[in-house]
Structure 1
Amino acid sequence: MDDVAVIEDAAAAEVSLDPIRSRLLAALAEPASAAMLAGRVGLPRQKVNYHLRTLEQHGLIELVEQRRKGNMTERMMRATAASYVISPSAMAAVAPDTSRAPDRLSARWLLAVAARLVRDVGELITGSARVNKRVATFAIDGEITFATAADRAAFAEDLTAAVTHLAGRYHDDSTPGGRRHRIVVAVHPSVTRPDVSDPGPGGARAGGVRAGDATEG
């Protein structure tokens, strides 16, 4: 089971968004049969079987074991991932367009950039899985508190200058076979949720920023 799977197919996205199937996906973090799930979700086994077949057809769950029970075969199913992200590719015709009115101070343009990030990384993960390779990635995640709006603006300018300097230092478009990478740097107000917990392991915190050098595959 993968930690995260990216749904790129529109039909699979529609299937995953059905409330009952979403509950079944969550319940299938551990292997279970239709009979076992029926009691948990309060539905007849036949109806659960129908939903499981649909989820299986779209690659959202997989068969992990078959057990004989009398004259029946019990199929033990499991979700293919612990969590799912729907890629903008699933709604390609109306996906956000980063080339439309780019404005680094626009929240909607930031959302378009984030959507492209999900789409591109999702395609990389899908492609790397087919050839059993890993995708090298790096991310910085953290929080910073600004005393004033002027401080926030000054931070943005300093950050822009620092990233521009680093990009100019390391960018080499003349080397044959050079490996192109996309850089995304974003700042937005934090959203407070009552169930937010410590991010846990995965990176070292320093000055409110957590950096993680990871591979996805």
Structure 2
Amino acid sequence: MLEVAVIEDPAAAEVSLDPVRSRLLAELVRPASAATLAAKVGLPRQKVNYHLRALERHGLIELMEERRKGNMTERVMAATAASYVISPVALAAVAPDPARSPDQLSARWLLALAARLVRDVGELVTGATKARRRVATFAVDGRVRFASAADRAAFAERLAEAVTALAGEYHDETAEGGREHRVIVALHPQVKTETSDISDFRES
């Protein structure tokens, strides 16, 4: 089972977003039969089977084994991944384009960058999985608490300078056999889990 799978097909995305099917996907992190699932989610086995066929048809679950029970064959299914990400490829006609209105201080532009990141890395992961290879990526996830908006602005300026200098040091336009990599650095307020101050979400 994959840790994360990328959904690029619009029909598969629609199937996965159905509340009942989403619940079944979550339950199928551990292999189970329709009868077992029916007891857990409180639906008739025939109804569960209907949803399982839809999930299987789109590659979101797979057959693990078949067990003979009397005159019936019980199919044990499992999710193909522990979690799923829907790529903007599934909504290609309305997917955000960061090139349309680049603005370093816009939260919506950051969202467009994040959508492109999901799309690009999703395609890389899908291709690498088929080729049984790993994708060369790197990420940093951290937190910083600023005393003031001025400190935040100064931090952003210094961060931009440092990244630009580092990229300039290693970028080689003439390198034969070299491969371009995209660098994205983001800074946004930490989302609060219970109550949120609206000022934390005000777009510049």
Q: Which digits, 9 at most, give the CA deviation of each residue in 1:40-85, with x for residues without a partner?
A: 1111111100100000000100111111111111110000111111
Q: Which digits, 9 at most, give the CA deviation of each residue in 1:129-179, with x for residues without a partner?
A: 111111011100011011111110100110000000000000011011102
Q: C-alpha separation between the residues in 2 aligned to 1:172 and 1:74?
A: 59
Give the structure 2 partner of residue 18 of structure 1: 18
Q: C-alpha separation between the residues in 2 aligned to 1:21 and 1:101?
A: 37
Q: C-alpha separation between the residues in 1 aligned to 2:55 and 2:93?
A: 24
Give the structure 2 partner of residue 126 of structure 1: 126
Give the structure 1 partner of residue 40 of structure 2: 40
Identity of aligned residues (%): 73
| Alignment gaps of 5+ in structure 1 | 195-217
Q: C-alpha separation between the residues in 2 aligned to 1:104 and 1:177?
A: 32
CA positional deviation for 1:16: 0.3
Q: Which digits, 9 at most, give the CA deviation of each residue in 1:87-125, with x for residues without a partner?
A: 100000000111111001000000000000000000000
Give the structure 1 partner of residue 31 of structure 2: 31
Give the structure 2 partner of residue 144 of structure 1: 144
Q: C-alpha separation between the residues in 1 aligned to 2:187 and 2:44?
A: 48
TM-score, normalised on structure 1? 0.88
AA paired with 1:111?
A: L
Q: C-alpha separation between the residues in 2 aligned to 1:181 and 1:169?
A: 14
Over aligned residue pairs, what C-alpha RMSD do you find?
0.7
- The alignment status of 1:93 with 2:117, answered yes or no, reads no
AA paired with 2:111?
A: L
Q: C-alpha separation between the residues in 1 aligned to 2:185 and 2:80?
A: 31
Q: C-alpha separation between the residues in 1 aligned to 2:193 and 2:32?
A: 32
- Structure 1 runs (4+) greater than 2 angstroms displaced: none
Q: C-alpha separation between the residues in 2 aligned to 1:13 and 1:72?
A: 32
AA paired with 1:115?
A: A
| Alignment gaps of 5+ in structure 2 | 195-204
Q: C-alpha separation between the residues in 2 aligned to 1:49 and 1:128?
A: 32
Aligned length: 194
Give the structure 1 partner of residue 201 of structure 2: none
Give the structure 2 partner of residue 201 of structure 1: none
CA positional deviation for 1:193: 1.5
Give the structure 2 partner of residue 109 of structure 1: 109
Task: Specify the SS of the correspondent of 2:174.
Answer: coil
AA paired with 1:186?
A: A
AA paired with 1:92?
A: A
Give the structure 1 partner of residue 67 of structure 2: 67
AA paired with 1:150?
A: A
TM-score, normalised on structure 2? 0.94
Is the helix fraction higher in 1 or 2? 2
Q: C-alpha separation between the residues in 2 aligned to 1:127 and 1:31?
A: 26
